[in-house]
Amino acid sequence: MVAPHLTAVYEQWGRRPAWMSEAACLGEPPEIFFPAHDDDAELGKAICEGCPVKEDCLTYVLEHTRDATDAGVWGGTTEKERRSIRRRAVRARERARKAVKDVTPVT
């Protein structure tokens, strides 16, 4: 059985990634992964800790969501933590672009 929160996501996107069938959250109540506050996400995050597809899950949510489907615990992270990951990634890309400009000779 696929966890209800995963079912909603892959129905929205039209396909289910193969890794979802190995997720530790399968069969768990969705409210564990969608707490009212990030502070209440510890149980969901704990389940993710032992998940064999934790990294796949995190990569998937970072690459495929930017809206309400980004809510909840995914890949052991909360929505707030993923916003921080995205901000750091944007800053790193900006630094990399600047570094390339600084060393690229003007012709």
pLDDT in tens, 81-100: 998 998 888 888 888 888 87
Backbone angles phi, psi at 88, to 5 degrees: -65, -40
Cβ atoms of residues 73 and 33 within 8 Å: yes
Cβ atoms of residues 56 and 19 within 8 Å: yes
Three-class DSSP category at 72:
coil
pLDDT in tens, 32-76: 999 988 889 999 999 999 999 999 999 988 888 766 567 889 999
Look up residue 3 and give its amino acid. Answer: A
Look up residue 48 and give its amino acid. Answer: C
**Cα Rg, the chain, nearest whole Å:** 17
Cβ atoms of residues 57 and 26 within 8 Å: no
